[in-house]
Amino acid sequence: MLEAQERQRFEQCVLPYLDAAFNLARWLLRDRSNAEDATQEAMLRAYRFFPSFRAGDPRAWLLQIVRNYCYTWLRQNRPHEDTSELNEDSLPSDTPSPETLAIASHDRQRIAQALEALPVHFREILVLRELEGCSYKEIAAITSHPIGTVMSALARARKQLRESLSTPLHTKESSRAL
């Protein structure tokens, strides 16, 4: 009886966030097929840990498990990827670039590639903020970073993404000269 109740509670509380789990895994691992395996493993793991989850935000809780699984996977399978935890001191100070750079192309593939080319922590924070719509507090809970670090990393991530999507200024200048 307990088993059925527990499973039903899991299905109501956690399983609705399957899309969120898969989307995060897909962008962290940059690969759909590995993301499917990771999501499945993380979901089963969440089911095992579920009795110890009593209160709080089930989405953040699930995404935390997905994230941990993905980082472990990356360390084992893609040792070149820098997965060392973010540290506020290692982030360059956030100076918003005053120049408004035109974003060159809007096609999905190019934007997806630019996002995938970001360091994993930046990618993660942008996916959680822009695709998943998480608040700073939720991102802090999922990634176990202080809110200050989330904010500076997000600013830095956006800057880097914008730079990689932008036409370099000199190209703009030369086309204007024509």
Residues that bind other proteins (CB under 8 A): 1, 3-4, 7-8, 10-12, 15-16, 18-19, 21-23, 26-27, 32, 36, 39-40, 43-44, 47, 93-98, 100-101, 103, 106-108, 111-112, 115, 126-127, 129-136, 151, 154-155, 158, 161-162, 165
Choose between 77 and 97: whose C-beta lies nearer to other proteins: 97
Q: How many residues does the chain have?
A: 178
Closest CA to 120 of 95, 92, 143: 143
16-39 burial by CB neighbour count: b if 16+ within 10 A, else e? ebeebbbbbbbbbbbeeebbeebb
Choose between 84 and 93: whose C-beta lies nearer to other proteins: 93
What is the nearest approach in angstroms of other proteins to the Cβ of residue 79? Answer: 25
What is the nearest approach in angstroms of other proteins to the Cβ of residue 175? Answer: 18
Choose between 75 and 137: whose C-beta lies nearer to other proteins: 137
Task: Provide the 8-state DSSP code for 84.
Answer: S
What is the nearest approach in angstroms of other proteins to the Cβ of residue 84? Answer: 24
Choose between 11 and 75: whose C-beta lies nearer to other proteins: 11
Q: List, in sequence order, every residue forming a beta bridge with 27; answer none if it has no partner.
A: none
What is the nearest approach in angstroms of other proteins to the Cβ of residue 119? Answer: 17
For the record, the structure tokens of 59 come out as 């989405």
What is the nearest approach in angstroms of other proteins to the Cβ of residue 161? Answer: 7
Complete DSSP assignment for 32-57 = HHHHHHHHHHHHHHHHHHGGG--SS-
Report whether 53 contacts 61 (CB < 8 A). yes
Choose between 75 and 131: whose C-beta lies nearer to other proteins: 131
